[in-house]
Structure 1
Amino acid sequence: MNWSPYIKSFQSYLKIERGLSKNTIANYTFDLERLCAFLNDNNISVAPEKIAEETIQQFIYAVSKEVNARSQARIISGLKSFFSYLIFEDYRSDSPMELIEAPKIGRKLPDTLSVEDIDNLIAAVDLSTPEGERNRAILETLYSCGLRVSELVSLKISDLFFDEGFVKITGKGNKQRFVPIAQSTQRYIESYKNNIRNHLNIAKGHEDTLFLNRRGKQLTRAMVFTIIKTLAVKINLQKNISPHTLRHSFATHLLENGADLRSIQMMLGHESITTTEVYVHLDRKHLTQIIHTFHPRKV
């Protein structure tokens, strides 16, 4: 049974109706293709309109042997969205996912770096190379603005509003927000733009892209991961870090220094405050300080 037309229609729905990012749509598509592969491997020929809960349960049981609970929960969430879409489009009247529960995974606390770790990481950048100027600007921007790596690599020159002290960020689901940017980070970006970027042979279609590779094209997310991991090895940092670690550190350090969760939520671009609340669990020392400062029976 060919599921491709249904999957393509679902992709269009996710992009146009729900405004989800390419990465999220790709993950949903991968999970559906995984289900299709399971059906083929087991000689099960069934249309999306007819597939039963028992078959889905068999698939999830098979998947549970291969992936962790977090990935399993994501797969179940994606399938629930797909079958909800089929109901919305009147392909089905019910969902085979109604009684299927995702595993309890708990909340994973993000890794963070100290201010000293971040200073050491940035200090390790080799500024004798053209890429060094760029890499310093990248790290400063990630940490100064708390960006996702996808937001960083898609950042445009036209998104820089330095006179006002902000950058415009396009986040998940193409939702835009303005994030304050430190003057020191502005100087690093301007230095990269004027001294390095201006001398590149910029590829067509990338004239407005801020951070470019040697070929004058937009950096990949993987390249930013490599830059950061290489620097971590260079300073012998005994932590498994990624670009997201700088984003987590940005939020944690703001909280430690007295910023409120609502402001942090807006700067991070979290749709729900509950996503931001994970940082409260990180910084129990800050909570103790709040009690001692503001509670009427603090003495």
Structure 2
Amino acid sequence: MSDEQFTTIAARHIEDFGKHLRQQGYAEGTIKHYGHSCRHFVTWLDQHDIPLDAVDEELIERFAVHSCACPGYFVQKARRNAQYLASIRRFVRHLAAIGAIPEMVCGKQGDDRLHPFRDWLSRHRGASERTILGHLHMVTKLLPQLGDDPACYDAALINRVILQNLESASRVSVQQMCGSLRMYLRYLAASGTCSPALVGAVPRIPRWRLATLPRYILSDDVERVIASCDPATPRGLRDRAILLLLARLALRGGDVANLHLEDIDWDNGLIRVAGKTKHAVALPLPQDAGDALLAYIERARPIVTSTKVFIRSIAPFVPFASSSPISIIVRDALQRAGVDNANLRGAYLLRHSAATHMLRSGATLDAVGAVLRHRSPETTAIYAKVDTTMLAHVVQPWIGGASC
């Protein structure tokens, strides 16, 4: 194929891709961005005499780090950023969907060695999809250091791998890494490929229970955050419904992101959520939260095949993949409302605020724990530390007779 023929075919594919995006409701600015990315990619393919049907993940990675003098192509540390590469991969998936390239080359497959680990986590540990993805992500990073043969693992290797990752990780990241590594070793021990004693070789990072105060904002600030949403726009209707569910029912971000239409019992005013477990519970749906939810579903929710309640307000109109967008919605609402006195700026801030307000209004710890769906009373006990009125009655006088 001549260079002119390649350019003509590639331009036609890019034009068809733009039409496809336009049909899905993408903004013209977004389509223009996709066009720039795709033209850059096919130009690079043409310069290296690479046909379209040879595109695979390895080629996309080569493109990501190639030396390029073109201005404005989102280079970070000698590599195209994730959003830029996501545009390229979406274009490649489109080419595969229309039969321009083989389906098998489109997308990056996970490590085959971890597929049984995923199944084990789901079947034998009852882990949620989010927890499974977190373990898989962490173990994938550690596998090159651990090696391919679990029979060769020993305590010295485990210790060496952990030390290699300490310098570039925070305390929370190290806790997650050790937890995922411990879980992977349990799986290997259960399958008989390594010694069960290795599980004890993974150190436990200190994490003192009840050592911190729950972060919260006052009720007036919560109402300002909710009122910051513009109900005249589809996004405002959606965000207001989300914020009310978080503030009134103390839901987690994952509860909201995974809420389905069939989980809402309109006749009885109930809403079913599963939380971190697979056991769903029914919670009463407050009037204002129910009204906001109904307004969003009837007037602003895009018509999609998914049964999830909350959908992206701009194309692509797909459900939230995780709880991260819920936290971003809370963060943006805090900024609009001018609430800047909270260190925690995600979905958990409204959950903590709801629990704190309940306790200060006279609710018992048992009642707060029931709403928060805590399995252990010890988990709820941390909220007793923010009830200053109650603590004032039980505090002991300073034994020295004077303050420090």
TM-score, normalised via structure 2 length = 0.63
Amino acid at match of 1:96: L
Corresponding residue SS for 1:245:
helix
Structure with higher Rg: it is 2
Match of 2:353 in 1: 249
Match of 1:297 in 2: none
Report which stretch shifted further, 50-59 or 166-175: 166-175
Q: Please state how far the C-alpha of 1:46 moved relative to its aligned partner.
A: 5.3
User: CA, structure 1 residues 280+71, in 2 after alignment: closer, same or farther (shift >3 Å)?
Assistant: farther
| Separation in structure 2 between the aligned mates of residue 7 and residue 217 of structure 1, nearest angstrom | 27
Q: Is the 8 A contact 1:69 1:105 kept in 2?
A: no
Q: Is the 8 A contact 2:158 2:201 kept in 1?
A: no
Q: Is the 8 A contact 1:111 1:248 kept in 2?
A: yes
Ranked by relative contact order (alpha carbons within 8 Å, sequence separation 6 or more), the top structure is 1
Amino acid at match of 1:209: K
Q: Is the 8 A contact 1:18 1:173 kept in 2?
A: no
Match of 2:137 in 1: 30
Match of 1:139 in 2: 243
Q: Please state how far the C-alpha of 1:196 moved relative to its aligned partner.
A: 2.6
Structure 2 residue aligned with 1:219, among 320, 323, 334? 320
Are 2:230 and 1:230 equivalent residues in the alignment?
no
Are 2:165 and 1:165 equivalent residues in the alignment?
no
Q: Please state how far the C-alpha of 1:143 moved relative to its aligned partner.
A: 1.0
Q: Is the 8 A contact 1:229 1:242 kept in 2?
A: yes
Structure 2 residue aligned with 1:7, among 114, 124, 128? 114
Q: Is the 8 A contact 2:186 2:199 kept in 1?
A: no
User: CA, structure 1 residues 212+86, in 2 after alignment: closer, same or farther (shift >3 Å)?
Assistant: same
| Separation in structure 2 between the aligned mates of residue 283 and residue 167 of structure 1, nearest angstrom | 29
Q: Is the 8 A contact 1:109 1:278 kept in 2?
A: yes
Q: Is the 8 A contact 1:83 1:95 kept in 2?
A: no
Unaligned runs of 5+ in 2: 1-109, 396-404
Corresponding residue SS for 2:267:
coil
Percent identity of paired positions between Structure 1 and Structure 2: 24
| Aligned pairs (5 A) from 1:35-46 | 35-39=142-146, 45=147
| Separation in structure 2 between the aligned mates of residue 273 and residue 237 of structure 1, nearest angstrom | 31
Structure 1 residue aligned with 2:150, among 39, 48, 58? 48
Q: Please state how far the C-alpha of 1:103 moved relative to its aligned partner.
A: 2.3
Corresponding residue SS for 1:95:
helix
Q: Please state how far the C-alpha of 1:99 moved relative to its aligned partner.
A: 4.1
Unaligned runs of 5+ in 1: 40-44, 293-299
Q: Please state how far the C-alpha of 1:242 moved relative to its aligned partner.
A: 0.8
Give deviations 1:12-50, integer Å, cap 9, x for gaps.
1111222211121111112212222334xxxxx452232
Q: CA RMSD in A?
A: 2.4
Q: Is the 8 A contact 1:161 1:167 kept in 2?
A: yes
Structure 2 residue aligned with 1:80, among 179, 182, 185? 182
Q: Please state how far the C-alpha of 1:260 moved relative to its aligned partner.
A: 2.5
| Separation in structure 2 between the aligned mates of residue 59 and residue 193 of structure 1, nearest angstrom | 49
Amino acid at match of 1:217: V
